[in-house]
Structure 1
């Protein structure tokens, strides 16, 4: 072959054309995406067949909300953006709740939606909504791939922003005519994530002085501690300083509850933890987002010395007005503080009683003749789960109990929706968790949340997943009943009826248990949780338990 022929062949190879759909999927491959969770749609045809011919597995689900929750939990557990897919109109709006959940819980997620042809966008037509405008309030960034030449840049930007601290959701809309058009654009390389700055020495020194002068300093560990993989640094900081730690619900597992410095979570321990927080005169908030827990509840008089360590400056809030803000990589910030403020815990005995009471409350076992309750289930569930197993809790009264009293040991082993606090996350979340981590997975849910996305058990069975669903059934939207009763002495609009959950579980092909006493429950959990089978444990709880 002559040199001219070789150059011509190289040029032909360099300008090889693909459809935009094929290029987008090649970009997903470049980003390391293994699964796309979603529902098919007419406007997605080119994208679906491009996925079929790729190394990315498309997982058809039963509802787009389930797809978004799967992507959400994947992002929470791995730090890599989960990907969900829906068509235009109702497909896109069905994704919205799970996308918003990821945004408020700081989970990296990329949502993809189809759209009609560009020639339809300017006028009213079937299923046509301005989806980017609908998504705009609940994502970090979104755009329409309106030109074949921008597909690679758009995908790279969506992943970069979704995964950048603080992570969240992004969205790409793909019109069907653009998806079918051709381009020579190549995927952009995946780059190392932006490195957050080291803490500045002056802020660290000022924080160390505040901690050293405090009589009863305490660490408040939030979502960002776990998300930033700073749990080990927190544990070393606590060992160096002797300071106790209380966690937000999303910060659970930042410190092992077996550590003598752990006071479990805010409002746990039958009031003992809240009392300790009330007594603390200085609070070091690490990776704390106000959306997790209102600071007015733990700083009502605005009299505590508050220090802020996070990747972004603190939100402006009357009850959260830090004296010092260390804006840096959370892990390196903790390491710097550990060196600057050793042994600053004051009298360590000030929280010992609270620690003892909190652990006693969390490990208290029910009496043999006690009715079933979520609280009584906690020690049996903890016994059945290994330290590295992952518990995903849905939203409801059971979430509050598990968040307060379920002890955790290893980082990132407790998943809860707490920013948006959306019901229906547990079952689809368990599907994603089972695909993402080697440990056993348990989904804890109430009957209300279960029936919102319980159909994803079919998805789980089709994928060969093996996890356990613990279903607390009290025929009630219990958390709302509790709040109404507290306010008015009665409840209204909260009672519900349910199907036979045992038969429902069996119809999905699950190993199903319906224990009748505490020994039966313990045996069911001990058998189901370590098993590779998909299982359902139905725990019937009296409505007022």
Structure 2
């Protein structure tokens, strides 16, 4: 016989869980007493939101299911932002929350919150365990649901009395869920229809999203592209799914995407969309999106197909599996038929890129934030895992760091969660200790979870934080500059800590750069430090803007170029 706490720990071992990000509380003490003797690494964040973002970063960097835990009431509700973030970006998490005893549920007991009701719209599934016999099967199902199909978070709520009770332990060997059976293979007739349409297309474009990275379909996509010489445009979340330095990679589209990508998506006659949601930040005004194009859409989530954009050729399936099917059929079509058209099309796209590449005006007196990202790319040789906060820093990271690996770029895309980047970087570094991990941060966003410096120091997590410090909520200020007559209403951060003293108070090495010539030496010095976090405060141009920019309500070809 085992207690619920012992069953939980045994289940985690069966699922090969290596690390838990958790914060204890009263109703979890039985679980934490059992964890004391378990050989599972536990990371104690300094805030529950930091813990779940770290689990999220761990999952994105490794491809494994991230696991986090928090106590009942405020502990559980502090996870809500992180659960939503993971749900929107399709990140596999299993989230354990403590709950008051079953006899007290619904009675407004101390630290009671209906976390199942609160999170129902933002999870793939959830469980309130009322009988200890349900515990092991529910955990088995939770991990299966989190990692299969379109990945996402699953919540398991654990009442205190269930955790303390006992039963015979039995872990299910397999999972069979009525009504849940993700489809991995695409329909052959639809795939052939896609290839037939591609055969006749003069201006085709592959539009890849985060699904390519999640399913690790990057090798199959590269082979497909090179066989037919196709241009590749990425969503922001797709960055890393195709080598950023490949001649067929055009860039990423959308609000702050590059000119060539936005023009290509406006002029194309056939889009092959792979693992993307067609989010509003990517499409711009829908009636102006790809007006001349037929669209094929490959996605494992049937609910994503024709949700935002009407699709001509829907293919429900896993990106990797479907691309392998495409490669199997590809030899049956005449790719010489439109070869010259495709070559001319690529030439046109590259001409657009030459006309308006990602660029900025360098300065010898003041640090440009883009320059910092370029130097990070240079000193890391393009091999680092890059996490970002949210705002201008996030866009500059996407614009000036060329990603080549599918798990190299970690950013909050769908929800745009300020405070995400630093704890996510901690989780990524714990999951991938062999990799250099940077958090490219804005000062405003970093301040939201700066307490996690303590976590990184305690566990000697060698993550590097590069703060692009402009003493503004930069993206808010940019919109106020462009659309609200420079009325900087509550976007100025004049009162902020001295980041060097803050870091040093935690025992974290720190550096500051105020001149462009200081940037590279500081980065190289920081990279020599391996077993502690390093904070770098780059004092950058306060009023630098991110361009190009598609204004809200505009079409992709209606960009503000900022030239």
TM-score normalised by L of structure 1 = 0.92
User: CA 1:172/1:424 → structure 2, altered by over 3 Å: closer, same or farther?
Assistant: same
Of 381, 390, 398, the match for 1:395: 390
Q: Secondary structure at the match of 2:156?
A: strand
Aligned twin of 1:541: 540
Distance 1:419 1:293 in 2: 9
| 2:512 is aligned with 1:528 | no
Distance 1:541 1:390, change over 3 A: same
Alignment partner for residue 318 of structure 2, among 314, 326, 329? 329
8 Å contact kept, 1:23–1:187: no
Q: In structure 2, what is the equivalent of residue 86 of structure 1?
A: 70
- The Cα of 1:306 is off from its aligned counterpart by 0.7
Q: What's 2:150 paired with?
A: 166
2:305 corresponds to 1:308: no
Counterpart of 1:46? 30
Residue among 484, 487, 497 paired with 1:499: 497
**SS of corresponding position for 2:237:** coil
Shift of 1:365: 7.7
Q: Is this contact kept in 2: 1:365–1:379, CA < 8 A?
A: no
Where do 1:108-507 residues align within 5 Å? Answer: 108-189=92-173, 196-267=183-254, 270-291=258-279, 293-297=281-285, 300=288, 302-313=291-302, 315=304, 317=306, 320-338=309-327, 339-340=329-330, 342=335, 346-352=341-347, 354-355=349-350, 358=353, 367-369=362-364, 371-437=366-432, 438-490=434-486, 491-496=488-493, 497-507=495-505
Count residues with an aligned counterpart.
529
Give the direction of change, closer, same or farther, for the CA distance of 1:247–1:478 in structure 2 (3 Å limit).
Answer: same
For residues 429-468 of structure 1, the C-alpha deviation after alignment (integer angstroms, 9 at most, x for no partner) is 1111111112110011111111111111111111111111
| Greater mean deviation of Cα atoms: 27-36 or 515-524 | 515-524
Q: Distance in 1 between matches of 2:357 and 2:406?
A: 18
- Please identify, of 534-543 and 342-351, the stretch whose mean Cα deviation from structure 2 is larger: 342-351
> Are 2:71 and 1:76 equivalent residues in the alignment?
no
1:509 maps to: 507
The alpha carbon displacement at 1:385 in A equals: 1.4
Structure-2 separation of matches of 1:486 and 1:516: 27
Q: Is the 8 A contact 2:59 2:66 kept in 1?
A: yes
Structure of higher RCO (CA pairs closer than 8 Å, 6+ residues apart): 2
Deviation at 1:364, TM superposition (A): 5.5
1:110/1:269 CA distance change after superposition, 3 Å: closer
Offset at residue 356 of structure 1 (A): 6.3
For 1:310 and 1:207, the matched residues in 2 are separated by 14
Displacement of 1:207 in angstroms is 0.6
Structure 1 residues 126, 450: closer, same or farther in 2, change over 3 A?
same
Native 8 Å contact 1:269 1:361 kept in 2? no
CA contact (8 A) 2:259 2:357 kept: no
My pick for the range that moved more, 437-446 or 262-271, is 262-271
Looking at structure 2, the residues matched to 39 and 242 of structure 1 have their Cα atoms a distance apart, in angstroms, of 51
* Alpha-carbon distance between aligned partners in 2 of 1:152 and 1:108, rounded to the nearest angstrom: 19
Unaligned runs of 5+ in 2: 545-563
| Per-residue CA distance 1:96-138 (angstroms, 9 max, x = gap) | 1011101110000011111111121131222222121111111
**1:370 Cα shift?**
5.1
| Alpha-carbon displacement from aligned partner over 1:27-57 (angstroms, at most 9, x marks no partner) | 0111111111121101100011111121212
* Between 88-97 and 341-350, the greater mean CA deviation after superposition: 341-350
Bigger shift: 197-206 or 468-477?
197-206
Could you tell me whether the CA contact under 8 Å between 1:362 and 1:407 is conserved in 2? no
Are the structure 2 counterparts of residues 292 and 72 from structure 1 closer, same or farther at C-alpha, using a change threshold of 3 Å?
farther
SS of the residue 2:202 aligns to = coil
Distance 1:191 1:145, change over 3 A: closer
- Aligned equivalents of 1:161 and 1:406: distance in 2? 33
SS of 1:471's equivalent in the other structure is strand
For 1:112 and 1:337, the matched residues in 2 are separated by: 40
Q: Deviations over 1:239-274 (max 9, x none)?
A: 001110011111001111211100111146752321
- Aligned-residue offset at 1:323: 0.9
Q: Confirm whether residue 26 of structure 1 aligns to residue 10 of structure 2.
A: yes
Over the aligned positions, Cα root-mean-square deviation in angstroms equals: 2.3
Deviates most, 329-338 or 47-56: 329-338
Please report how far the alpha carbon of residue 311 of structure 1 lies from its aligned counterpart in structure 2 after TM superposition.
1.3
1:99-110 alignment runs, 5 A limit: 99-110=83-94
| Shift in alpha-carbon separation, 1:535–1:355, aligned structure 2, 3 A | farther
User: Which structure 1 segments of 5+ residues have no match?
Assistant: 1-16
In structure 2, what is the Cα distance between the partners aligned to 1:218 and 1:334? 15
Alpha-carbon distance, 1:218 to partner: 0.4
> Following the alignment from structure 1 to structure 2, what is the Cα–Cα distance between the partners of residues 307 and 363?
29
Residues in 1 aligned to 2:362 and 2:418: alpha-carbon distance in whole angstroms: 31
Q: Secondary structure at the match of 2:457?
A: helix
SS in 1 for 2:426: helix
